[in-house]
């Protein structure tokens, strides 16, 4: 594939961020669905869980209990990383690059945007929350699917896919860090299984874990599956290997490939789910941030 054809840096940035924002909206919606299942069955509401989750997503937690946190995470206009804002920004980025995308995409992203804007309260109403979040997940999946199966190979598809893959790997790090138990937490096998079943639910991977014949759900197996199962397109190593392939086709890619190689090495150290996974996840997340910075500096700021 020859990507030497000139593409404006601003257009490349819009495509990259559209991919990231779509993936982020889907992932946060999945997390909220998984948390909803926990909160419905828990004997006591624990807002500390929401604080930890918002912290993992690098979002400040409002001091208004679970309801306020939920509004902030899903529907707050003032939160640049809420589901509502991510969908809005993805639509704006696609509007700028609309002529490069499949015709049906504009209708799909506009329909999703309008569904959220006309009834944002459904995102945090227990009565409507599950259906609304599932609709958002499926809409994001449909849009990403159309983009990756309809676009011809070239710069447009490459920068969209780079954004999607980098966001997926980054969210894997964040959610796994949030899910890791505290040092003083009891190592109860039953609670451990429930915890990691919810983590797999948040990634939408519970059934794929079973198909992979990993056996019973345990922390080390679930971590290894999410990080290192290269047959699974959602896994961190799959995303990074594919990202490396895409970067290899871009011009002026020396620094980006170097940072991607460092990130891959960091992720591979977590194979087997053993050792201080939390610390390794933090290092990998920092390396992903460096990779993003190099990509932005090389291709979007020139």
pLDDT in tens, 132-191: 899 999 999 999 999 999 999 899 999 999 999 999 999 999 888 888 876 545 566 777
**Cα–Cα distance, 77 to 54 (Å, whole number):** 16
pLDDT tens digit sequence for 211-246: 888 888 888 899 999 999 999 999 999 999 999 999
**What is the three-class DSSP state of 42?**
coil
**16 contacts 10 by C-beta, under 8 angstroms:** no
In order of 95, 162, 163, 249, 280, the CA distances from 299 in angstroms are 20, 12, 13, 13, 28
Q: Spell 90-126 as b/e; 16+ CB within 10 A means b.
A: bbebbeebeebbeeebeebbeebbebbeeebebbbee
State the alpha helices, DSSP H only, in the chain.
9-41, 47-56, 65-74, 83-96, 103-118, 129-150, 155-179, 189-203, 206-211, 219-228, 236-248, 254-268, 277-299
For 128-134, what is the mean pLDDT? 86
For position 101, what pLDDT does the model report?
94
**What is the three-class DSSP state of 15?**
helix
Tokens 């990202």 belong to residue: 243
Triad 141, 130, 30: Cα angle to 5°: 45
**Cα–Cα distance, 165 to 163 (Å, whole number):** 6
pTM score: 0.90
**17 contacts 89 by C-beta, under 8 angstroms:** yes
Structure tokens at 116: 């959220």
Triad 199, 180, 63: Cα angle to 5°: 85
**Residue 274 pLDDT exceeds 50:** yes
Structure tokens at 174: 């964040």
Confidence of residue 42 (pLDDT cuts 50, 70, 90): very low
**Cα–Cα distance, 34 to 43 (Å, whole number):** 16
Q: Spell 57-74 as b/e; 16+ CB within 10 A means b.
A: bebebbeeeeebbbbbbb
Nearest by Cα to 178 from 143, 156, 202: 202
Structure tokens at 178: 């949030």
Structure tokens at 205: 């991977």
For 50-71, what is the mean pLDDT? 72
């Amino acid at each position: 594939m020859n990507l030497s054809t000139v593409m404006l840096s601003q257009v490349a940035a819009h495509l990259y961020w559209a991919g990231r924002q779509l993936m982020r909206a889907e992932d946060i919606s999945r997390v909220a669905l998984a948390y909803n299942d926990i909160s419905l069955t828990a004997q006591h509401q624990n807002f500390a869980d929401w604080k930890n989750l918002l912290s993992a997503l690098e979002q400040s937690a409002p001091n208004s209990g679970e309801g306020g946190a939920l509004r902030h995470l899903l529907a707050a206009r003032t939160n640049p990383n809420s589901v509502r804002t991510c969908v809005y920004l993805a639509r704006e980025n696609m509007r700028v690059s609309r002529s490069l995308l499949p015709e049906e995409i504009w209708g799909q992203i506009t329909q999703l945007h309008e569904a959220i804007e006309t009834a944002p309260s459904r995102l945090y109403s227990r009565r409507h929350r599950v259906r609304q979040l599932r609709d958002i997940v499926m809409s994001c999946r449909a849009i990403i699917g159309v983009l990756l199966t309809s676009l011809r190979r070239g710069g447009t598809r490459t920068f969209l896919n780079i954004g999607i893959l980098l966001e997926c790997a980054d969210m894997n790090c964040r959610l796994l860090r949030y899910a890791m138990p505290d040092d003083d937490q009891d190592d109860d096998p039953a609670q451990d299984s429930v915890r990691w079943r919810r983590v797999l639910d948040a990634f939408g991977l519970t059934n794929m874990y079973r198909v992979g014949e990993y056996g019973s759900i345990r922390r080390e197996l679930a971590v290894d599956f999410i990080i290192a199962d290269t047959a699974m397109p959602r896994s961190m190593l799959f995303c990074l290997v594919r990202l490396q392939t895409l970067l290899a086709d871009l011009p002026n890619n020396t620094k980006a490939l170097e940072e991607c190689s460092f990130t891959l090495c960091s992720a591979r150290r977590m194979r087997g789910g053993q050792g201080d996974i939390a610390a390794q996840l933090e290092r990998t997340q920092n390396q992903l941030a460096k990779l993003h910075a190099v990509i932005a500096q090389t291709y979007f700021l020139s």
